[in-house]
Structure 1
Amino acid sequence: MFRAAVGSLPGRALPAMAAAFLWKKEKGRERRTKAPSWRKEIHPYYNLSVTVVKARNIQGTDVLSEADCYVQLRLPTASPLPDRTKVVYNSRDPEWNETFHYRINSAVKNILELSLYDRDVMLDDKLSSVVFDVGSIKPGHTVRRVFKLNKKDKEALEVEFHIEESKDPPSEIITNGVLVAHPCVCVEGRMKYEENKENGNYTLKLSVPGSYEKQISALLQKSETEEGGKFVFHADKDMNPQLDVCLLKTLRVAENDLAPELDKKTLYFGKGSVPLSSLPEGKEAEINLPLSKNHVVNMSITKEESFQDLDIRLGFELSRGEKDFLKKRKEIIAKSLKNALDLNTAPDEKEVPVIAVIGSGGGVRAMTSLYGSLQGLQELKLLDSATYLSGVSGSTWCMSTLYEDPDWSIKDLKEPINRAQETTTCSKSGAVSTERLKHCTQELIALERDGYKVNFIDLWGLVLEYFLHQKDNPAKLSDQQNSVCRGQNPYPVYAGVNVRVNISGGDFAEWCEFTPHEIGFRKYGAFINTEDFGSEFFMGHLIRRRKEPKICYLQGVWGSAFAANLDEIWARASGTGIRWFNSLTDVIRVIDDCKKMHFRDPTRLQTRLVMPGGMVSDLFQDFFKSRFTAGELYNFTRGLYLYKDYMGVREFVAWKGNHLDAFPNELTPMEENLYLVDGGFSINSPFPVVLQSERDVDVILSFNYSWQAPFEVLQLTSKYCRERGIPFPKITVTEADEKQPKECYVFMDADNARVPIVLHFPLVNDTFHTYKAPGVLRETDEEKAFGDFLIEGKDSPYKTKNFTYELNDFNRLVEVNRYNVLNNEEMIKSALKAALDRRKKKVIHRELKKEKKAKV
């Protein structure tokens, strides 16, 4: 037999497969209920022919000769590997007249990338790329396009397209209007030893292009057991996948003890392929595959397909757990509002407003401040009126600690504040003690052994664990289901963003929400069970289940502010990015070839030209924009595709020609990894996750713990909402407010009930230095000294990088935030009354519409 020597993932052995395939569920595990928002659709296939005709006036990169051009074609929705033309040497006007054939599924957004290269000895130079939506070609038509690459030099690329409906039967897909799931095919096999005419140690390379596992290496040798030589691949059935087997032999050609790897030479002996479509469904097939004249591989292969039972939830509605919570929480909120607002009767369930309390980032300053803000709400008896509690960065550290107690908001907050005081004011030197470092090393080794991609953020999570608890904390996020099972606390929503390692968070960041029940991207309508976070998914199926990580590792992700790249650090320091660097980056220009049309199909993406910045640009991007400490996590949306009309969903800003949303081949479902970091890289407050229309929030209590730019999060949120058509109040503040903000501001649209009411609390010491309680002046010297302090300043103890406070500094920060809430009681209650009135009007309007429909 053959023995598996190397797994599909670097550094990990491929686990042996038993009778069941990986997407089949373990016994006793409850399957997720199918969400009502996804649907099945049937779409035909089309055959696409692309003929690369010629190019003209091409200016190469070699000053001593003409360009040596070839064209690479990349259509990842139809082919896992790019195609390329032959090289035409030493010509400014190369001609190819080469045709490439693809079968495309009409359900997905098919984007063809045509990249023109200049062949080079060391590294081929990309001259330009054309990004073309093949959906603009009508079936049965042949269309020739001349893409203008450079107007000044009259450079152009001429390509001919032809599309016709395929004779293959239409396919059924699952979609939520943004993502598409195709049938997934799984092949499990075992290789058997076959006597060969030649002896020696041979290596087999097995691969299925486009599969999750990519490539597996196996050593050709006899085995005493039947368990050796097993392999498994998961692939997209629509790609017509095939199993490729390549036979290699490594020889030692010299003796060099210092560098033995340099003395080895790999010889190629032969290869063979097995189309997966030729294998029977659900039956074991015996395959004798000749690789060369002297070598034959005998394989036993079973193929199965999985389609209907996805392990990822495709839908935009709230999770079942969150819905169940809301039913229970509304009863508690109704009673709370009746008491807090002195109402005669508790509001009806339909009239209960949705109130979200959100905390910004700011390290320990934000963590400490949120304790004070929540204590103020509790004393006003309004904490029970909150539906959601959400945060980023330091605020999540406070939240995740509170929710370890299932009844924290019912109890007096003084006890958790006292515990936070102890950990915040004590020395952190124990974090680097020999014992602790040994513990961290053991934890990270165990994490890697479990199959996780261990990185610096995981170490940071263990450091935070010590800072927050001074000991090992086994808590997990899914444990917090106990904290919301009776609706007893606000529903926690933790926020982070998915970024790219070479793109600024201000240019591209996708909000990811973490709740006790699910983790996912509402942008894509893709969610997984919280218990399955860290597991490996492909095409919506669970491939490898891993145990849920401790919450400290998530705390590291939520507060990973150090993952900033140099460009973002410069922008924070100077107020703008590295301006001269922008001249070196890629240039994206819309070159829509249908300008003469009187109307434009809104589902079609415009044709864009990408002019690479060149080798110098790549070097600077690697240096200035790379996130050296960004953590890589398994991408649970991998293997899914963008729906043909995905641009119509408001979360996408594909109308911006240079935004990554306009490049579906580059979006998250096409990526291998997620890069989840601190939400502060986008907006330093979790507005985007609470503003989702499904949550229907009426009032947002925004606590901003940044000590610079007190209204920046509101302005960034306003821009975010404006680009996506999300209702948000107009933010208008005076110059005086910018310089010296007050304790509370209210922003609302009196004419539009769809716009939430936002109460914004900057972090200030405004009247607190004079009053020890609302309306109660400070009298003694001790009282005056306690309130007389500056939050900001170069000598402030509240700098974000400071993780240890003096006792007096901790107490002051808690008290000033508590006071700021108490001192604005009337403003808060007025906003809640207005929200209650809006809800009542909505209910009346809804009932009238129902009556009108019934009469019709």
Structure 2
Amino acid sequence: MSFIDPYQHIIVEHHYSHKFTVVVLGATKVTKGAFGDMLDTPDPYVELFISSTPDSRKRTKHFNNDINPVWNETFEFILDPNQDNVLEITLMDANYVMDETLGTAIFPISSMKVGEKKEVPFTFNDVTEMILEMSLEVCSSPDLRFSMALCDQEKAFRQQRKENIKENMKKLLGPKNSEGLYSTRDVPVVAILGSGGGFRAMVGFSGVMKALYESGILDCATYIAGLSGSTWYMSTLYSHPDFPEKGPEEINEELMKSVSHNPLLLLTPQKIKRYVESLWKKKSSGQPVTFTDIFGMLIGETLIHNRMNTTLSSLKEKVNTGQCPLPLFTCLHVKPDVSELMFAENITAKHIVSNDSSDSDDESQEPKGTENEEAEREYQNDNQASWVQRMIMALVSDSALFNTREGRAGKVHNFMLGLNLNTSYPMSPLRNFTTQESLEEDELDAAVADPDEFEQIYEPLDVKRKKIHVVDSGLTFNLPYPLILRPQRGVDLIISFDFSARPSDSSPPFKELLLAEKWAKMNKLPFPKIDPYVFDREGLKECYVFKPKNPDVEKDCPTIIHFVLANINFRKYKAPGVPRETQEEKEIADFDIFDDPESPFSTFNFQYPNQAFKRLHDLTYFNTLNNINVSIFYNH
């Protein structure tokens, strides 16, 4: 290779491959046999299978009651020419209960020459004839870019975004305080982070984004990184057709209505039928399906029910001219061969089907109340709830599939299947990767000193597995710092919002941030020292600032403004500097987040009545405005 990536940790050896194209033209005289044809006319479709390819199985659509189907469907397979590649063609009959195999044929792809294109007939049961058009060619250019360097599209985005930020910062800071902004090189790279925490994180992040949008801080950010619940809000915001012209305030009103209904209403027979059809369509296209797909459909139906076909690539229109911060979504690759619930040990069947939505198993099992009368009526009138609960409990309680990563983790095709990987250390900034054992004991806080936390974090993907498993990144630690700490992104200022669950409202709020610090140290990445004893000295605050001790020496070390979920000044003020006066104003703000016995803000609560939504939304909105100031840019 002529190009050397200085950030590379693992290098892919480039090998040429073949593209094998199959066009299923049609078939004549499809039969189920003399006796079978008397009972039913075939509903034929064709399955193509090449065991040595990444996306090994493909199929055509089926035709009802058609013995002479014409498909004209095209399929492509990427082949390793060094393997023995064989195409297996199966003629199938679609049925309601179980599809029937009508015949199978084999075609050795090695019998074709590169550049050759031909029609090949196949005969099934001495009667049915099928015609396939096949061609074989060399792939002329690579389809996969495997590099730790930023892609060209992100580099172009950063340049456009910096131009916009420069003008936005001049407006925000005023002429006097923006005199140093001569060029885009003077523009700091600001990243906004949102943690996981289910709907609590999503609703909390909605208030944060409204505050950042109205204060002008959002216009000065380059990245927004999310994890779990915060990504649900990011998806809701960025998939909205009117964003950014329509701000978070109006979009949040729509979100409040969406999450006020009981989630069991998503499990009516009509909707379940639609989910099954969608999952079957995905499976039929060759994509793997797991429980994560079902859960994702329920979340999507709740939040973006009319935008369920939105893809990540379709969000490019929100950033193609640098008009919005680049959204970064987080997931974690895991190994499938772990039977115990290590990666989601706190999630039980009870949390999925019962009325109890508390984070603790010790909480009362009594049904929770709601202030939303409409949602309450829907819940009481939902005569499907009981059988839905029994169905889901039967599915998740005793199923071995649900109790393994194979069943619970998301599953996707392994994009690195068949690649040859070599480790590259000499020029990589990660060459000094430090194991947990080599860190000094005084560098680690007791809360983050578990021995297996980041075990084998740099182990490459298994290039022999056809599929990989991905899970919620919050199961490692609940803030998406790895995305922002990539040295290529050169982030100067990190504004992080932690919505993670804590034992009580008065508990120390730094566990996830300390994990991020530990991860950075293990990777030799600059990170300000997190002093957990600031909590003992100063008590619980809404916001903490962590800066490098020696800025002249630690030039690449970011400053962190860390917001925690706490109801302190919001109890006294309805807006920054505006005290609450009436009893009603005081009562609406007098609530706990983690100490409330009703647990309205639990990670496992998927219904937010209007009052609960407004309380949490307005709290994070207030905390953000009350603690963030344009002066944060003066030293960057």
TM-score (norm 1): 0.52
Q: Aligned match of 2:303 in 448, 455, 468?
A: 468
Q: Aligned match of 1:337 in 147, 169, 185?
A: 169
Alignment correspondent of 2:243: 408
Alignment of 1:489-528 (within 5 A): 489-503=324-338
Equivalent pair of 1:189/1:301 in contact (CA under 8 Å): yes
Root-mean-square deviation (Å)? 5.2
Name the aligned partner's letter for residue 341 of structure 1.
L
SS class of match (2:275): helix
Between the aligned partners of 2:598 and 2:70, the Cα distance in structure 1 is: 70
CA deviation profile, 1:82-128 (whole Å, cap 9, x unmatched): xxxxxxxxxxxxxxxxxxxxxxxxxxxxxxxxxxxxxxxxxxxxxxx
Q: Aligned match of 1:788 in 564, 567, 590?
A: 590
Alignment correspondent of 1:629: 408
CA deviation profile, 1:359-386 (whole Å, cap 9, x unmatched): 1111111111111111222332212111
Deviation at 1:677, TM superposition (A): 1.9
Structure 1 unmatched runs, 5+: 1-33, 40-174, 191-205, 217-222, 246-260, 262-271, 288-299, 509-560, 575-620, 837-856
Equivalent pair of 1:187/1:301 in contact (CA under 8 Å): no
Alignment of 1:712-727 (within 5 A): 712-727=511-526
Q: 1:235 to 1:806 in 2, by over 3 A?
A: closer
Deviation at 1:186, TM superposition (A): 5.3
Which has the larger share of helix?
2
Deviation at 1:274, TM superposition (A): 8.1
CA deviation profile, 1:265-310 (whole Å, cap 9, x unmatched): xxxxxxx99895x9754357999xxxxxxxxxxxx99885635411
Matched, 1:809 2:608: no
Between the aligned partners of 1:564 and 1:422, the Cα distance in structure 2 is: 26
Between the aligned partners of 2:491 and 2:613, the Cα distance in structure 1 is: 32
Structure 2 unmatched runs, 5+: 24-47, 59-66, 89-99, 101-105, 121-131, 353-358, 362-399, 438-451, 503-507
SS class of match (1:726): coil
Q: Aligned match of 2:418 in 639, 645, 648?
A: 639
Name the aligned partner's letter for residue 626 of structure 2.
N
Alignment correspondent of 2:632: 831
SS class of match (2:479): coil
Q: 1:645 to 1:825 in 2, by over 3 A?
A: closer
Q: 1:781 to 1:693 in 2, by over 3 A?
A: same
Deviation at 1:796, TM superposition (A): 2.5
Between the aligned partners of 1:354 and 1:394, the Cα distance in structure 2 is: 24
SS class of match (2:159): helix
Alignment correspondent of 2:291: 456
Matched residues, number: 525
Equivalent pair of 2:17/2:79 in contact (CA under 8 Å): yes
Q: Aligned match of 1:420 in 242, 251, 255?
A: 255
Between the aligned partners of 1:754 and 1:784, the Cα distance in structure 2 is: 44
Q: 1:213 to 1:481 in 2, by over 3 A?
A: closer
Q: 1:648 to 1:724 in 2, by over 3 A?
A: farther
Deviation at 1:426, TM superposition (A): 3.2
Between the aligned partners of 1:319 and 1:505, the Cα distance in structure 2 is: 38
Equivalent pair of 1:37/1:176 in contact (CA under 8 Å): no
Between the aligned partners of 2:419 and 2:347, the Cα distance in structure 1 is: 29
Name the aligned partner's letter for residue 168 of structure 2.
S
Between the aligned partners of 1:727 and 1:504, the Cα distance in structure 2 is: 36
Q: Aligned match of 1:236 in 72, 80, 83?
A: 80
Alignment of 1:288-437 (within 5 A): 304=136, 306=138, 308-342=140-174, 343-345=177-179, 347=181, 348-405=183-240, 408-437=243-272
Name the aligned partner's letter for residue 601 of structure 2.
Y
Q: Using the aligned pairs only, state the percent identity.
A: 31
Deviates more, 1:644-653 or 1:362-371: 644-653
CA deviation profile, 1:463-511 (whole Å, cap 9, x unmatched): 1122214556433322212211232221111111121223599999xxx
Name the aligned partner's letter for residue 803 of structure 1.
F
Between the aligned partners of 1:805 and 1:833, the Cα distance in structure 2 is: 39
Q: 1:641 to 1:236 in 2, by over 3 A?
A: same
Q: 1:461 to 1:562 in 2, by over 3 A?
A: farther
Q: Aligned match of 2:510 in 687, 702, 711?
A: 711
Q: 1:451 to 1:350 in 2, by over 3 A?
A: same
Q: 1:645 to 1:304 in 2, by over 3 A?
A: farther
Between the aligned partners of 1:634 and 1:454, the Cα distance in structure 2 is: 11
Matched, 1:702 2:493: no
Between the aligned partners of 1:696 and 1:684, the Cα distance in structure 2 is: 22
CA deviation profile, 1:151-175 (whole Å, cap 9, x unmatched): xxxxxxxxxxxxxxxxxxxxxxxx9
Equivalent pair of 1:423/1:470 in contact (CA under 8 Å): no
Equivalent pair of 2:290/2:407 in contact (CA under 8 Å): no
Equivalent pair of 2:409/2:470 in contact (CA under 8 Å): yes
Alignment of 1:62-461 (within 5 A): 178-185=11-18, 210-212=52-54, 234-237=78-81, 241=84, 276=110, 281-283=114-116, 304=136, 306=138, 308-342=140-174, 343-345=177-179, 347=181, 348-405=183-240, 408-461=243-296
Q: 1:378 to 1:437 in 2, by over 3 A?
A: same
Q: 1:370 to 1:699 in 2, by over 3 A?
A: same
Deviation at 1:428, TM superposition (A): 3.4
Alignment correspondent of 2:546: 747
Q: Aligned match of 2:601 in 798, 807, 810?
A: 798
Deviation at 1:451, TM superposition (A): 2.9
Which structure is richer in relative contact order (CA contacts within 8 A, separation 6 or more)?
2
Between the aligned partners of 1:324 and 1:35, the Cα distance in structure 2 is: 23
Q: Aligned match of 1:675 in 456, 469, 490?
A: 469
Deviation at 1:327, TM superposition (A): 2.3
Question: Bigger radius of gyration, 1 or 2?
Answer: 1
Q: 1:742 to 1:285 in 2, by over 3 A?
A: same
Q: 1:409 to 1:747 in 2, by over 3 A?
A: farther
Equivalent pair of 1:639/1:670 in contact (CA under 8 Å): yes
Name the aligned partner's letter for residue 418 of structure 2.
G
CA deviation profile, 1:195-235 (whole Å, cap 9, x unmatched): xxxxxxxxxxx99885547799xxxxxx999999x999754
Alignment correspondent of 1:518: none
Name the aligned partner's letter for residue 805 of structure 1.
Y
Q: 1:376 to 1:238 in 2, by over 3 A?
A: same
Deviates more, 1:739-748 or 1:784-793: 739-748
Between the aligned partners of 2:247 and 2:529, the Cα distance in structure 1 is: 37
Alignment correspondent of 1:138: none
Between the aligned partners of 1:673 and 1:563, the Cα distance in structure 2 is: 26
Deviation at 1:411, TM superposition (A): 3.9
CA deviation profile, 1:47-97 (whole Å, cap 9, x unmatched): xxxxxxxxxxxxxxxxxxxxxxxxxxxxxxxxxxxxxxxxxxxxxxxxxxx
Between the aligned partners of 2:464 and 2:119, the Cα distance in structure 1 is: 34
SS class of match (2:329): strand
Which has the larger share of strand?
1
Between the aligned partners of 1:786 and 1:452, the Cα distance in structure 2 is: 48
